[in-house]
Amino acid sequence: MSTANSASISVAHGSSADDAGSAAHPAAPLADSLRIEPLTGLPARQTFGTLVPQPSPSFVVTPAVEAITQRALGYLDCGYAVHLAGPAGTGKTTLAFHVAAQLGRPVTLIHGNDEFGASDLVGKEGGYRKSTLVDNYVRSVLKTEESVQVHWQDNRLTTACEHGHTLIYDEFNRSRPEANNALLSILEEGLLNLPKGGGADNYLRVHDNFRAIFTSNPEEYAGVHKTQDALLDRMVTIQIDHYDQSTETDITSSKSNLPAEDSRVIVELANLLREMGSGHRPTIRACIALARVLSHRGVAVNVDDPFFKAAAWDIFGAQLRDAMGHNTRPGPDDLMGIVRDIQTGRISAAASPAKPRKSMRPAA
């Protein structure tokens, strides 16, 4: 395992708020922090909603992450949009920022929203500007001229297209499909169609440096819409999945400063619960959370320690209940039984992501 730079994000001054269908690949590690710094030297029109990726030494790079990064960069260099798809908690957004940082361009970030319409991405009329000219040069003649101009306000997609930013559209399938229709012509013809009032010709030619990275969760997740095939056909989809157990251990230990052996037990516990349940939860976020709490309190992974027992149940208890079924009513002692068996080598999770195995039960 090696450590390299990745992306934290900086908010701009004056800003507001692989082959498609290929086999799954390991997930990207989670961001450790976000650093906020002003972006200066650009007109206000260019800085609206703009982020600047900054190096972050806490990002853990493995050969698998580097392989995905290089493939994504290859697609982006050829002008294709990249789509990182996979379950929650696999680090898709962090990987998107890591890839964007390699491009060296400002980043425009959009989060998918069910209430979005096309105007929330492209822009809209923001009022009118009225001017009146009164000519009374000849006292007996009063001449009045009035003109009204529509005031157009660009939104983030238009800004990114005009100035060649890298667009990160996070969880884009949380927006309704019709809200994303503007992306079709952007990704295919390199043109952004603007509503009446958005420009003299009502279209904008996309900047040559514009690139787009999308992330999405599976369609069965709450609040997620089915993406139109026409949009998916215009991007290259890379499936992101959980890391292998060894890499998750390295990431958990690196993010928490917990000893490697304790991190291994936590990660193996999470892997066992995935096998018992849905196959997706708990994610590496849960592993890092428990490890950080233990490290902060100076507590080791010890089944006889009351704090570890309580914290592990708070973070992993819901997944154990879901995996075993509500009729069995498992409790903290059942969870500690699994931890004890992991430490003694009686049970272990597969070295790589496995299919759900609901028949597994904790030791008595």
The 10s digit of each residue's pLDDT in 160-196 is: 999 999 999 999 999 999 999 999 999 999 999 887 6
pLDDT of residue 144: 76
pLDDT of residue 125: 62
Residue 190, classified by CB atoms within 10 Å of its CB into exposed (0-12), middle (13-18) or buried (19+), is: middle
Tokens of 343: 């430490």
pLDDT in tens, 134-161: 776 667 777 777 776 665 677 789 989 9
Pairing of strands 235-239, 81-85: parallel
For range 78-102, the mean pLDDT: 91
Q: How far apart are CA 65 and CA 1, in angstroms?
A: 11
Number of Cβ atoms within 10 Å of the Cβ of 106: 24
Q: How far apart are CA 210 and CA 186, in angstroms?
A: 10
Pairing of strands 143-154, 60-61: unpaired
Are the C-beta atoms of residues 182 and 192 closer than 8 Å to each other? yes
Strand positions, DSSP E, 68-112: 81-85, 107-111
Pairing of strands 60-61, 2-3: antiparallel
**Bridge partners, 193 (sequence order):** 203
Which pLDDT band holds residue 254 (cuts at 50, 70, 90)? Answer: confident
**Bridge partners, 154 (sequence order):** 123
According to CATH, what is the number of the domain 2-120+155-239? 3.40.50.300
Q: How far apart are CA 298 and CA 224, in angstroms?
A: 40
Q: How far apart are CA 319 and CA 171, in angstroms?
A: 24
pLDDT of residue 99: 93
User: Roughly what angle, to the nearest 10 degrees, separates helices 63-77 and 92-103?
Assistant: 60
**What's the chain's Rg over C-alpha atoms?**
26
Tokens of 24: 């799954």
What is the length of the chain? 364
Are the C-beta atoms of residues 315 and 252 closer than 8 Å to each other? no
pLDDT at residue 9 tops 60: no
Which residue matches tokens 């309704």?
176
Which pLDDT band holds residue 326 (cuts at 50, 70, 90)? Answer: low
pLDDT at residue 119 tops 50: yes
Percent of the chain at pLDDT above 90?
Answer: 46
Q: How far apart are CA 90 and CA 87, in angstroms?
A: 6
Which pLDDT band holds residue 23 (cuts at 50, 70, 90)? Answer: very low
Higher pLDDT among residues 203 and 82, named by residue: 82
Tokens of 296: 């902060």
Q: How far apart are CA 362 and CA 343, in angstroms?
A: 13
Tokens of 320: 């154990």
For range 295-314, the mean pLDDT: 97
Q: How far apart are CA 336 and CA 358, in angstroms?
A: 18
Q: Is the dihedral of CA 105, 108, 111, 114 positive or negative?
A: negative
pLDDT of residue 358: 42
CA atoms within 13 A on the CB side of 45: 9
